[in-house]
Amino acid sequence: MAMLDRQELNKIVRAALETSDDELGCEDCLDQVDSFVETELAGLDAAAAMPLIHNHLQKCGDCREEFEALLAAVRAMENSNGNNILDAVRRFWRGGRNGS
């Protein structure tokens, strides 16, 4: 068993110092990540529109991996079906969501 070295302590300390009080959990992220993906694909600033989701994706490797995969998947469906994602995103914003 090895004692924690500098790099390992560094990783823990940095993660602690970057912690916010109001971080979302994985369930909240999962709940909204499809809207985040569509906002991103519409060329809008998803991070600014949904900052808590963006923050969670920065900190959670599992959710980030699934977000990136979903982005690729929706892009592939989009390319093959020729749907206009902007229409969907406009509907989302007209619905009055403020993103967080």
User: Measured between alpha carbons, how far is residue 38 from residues 59, 71, 77, 90 in Å?
Assistant: 21, 8, 12, 10
| 45 forms part of the interface with another protein (CB under 8 A) | no
Residue 42 touches another protein, criterion: CB under 8 A: no
Q: Which of 58, 62, 86, 90 binds another protein (CB under 8 A)?
A: 62
Q: How many CB atoms lie within 10 A of CB 51?
A: 15
- Is 9 one of the binding residues for another protein (CB under 8 A)? yes
Q: Does 55 bind another protein (CB under 8 A)?
A: no
Residue 38 class from Cβ within 10 Å (0-12 exposed, 13-18 middle, 19+ buried)?
buried
Q: Which amino acid is at 98?
A: N
For another protein, the closer of residues 25 and 43 by Cβ is: 25
* Minimum distance, C-beta of residue 11 to another protein, in the bound complex (Å): 6
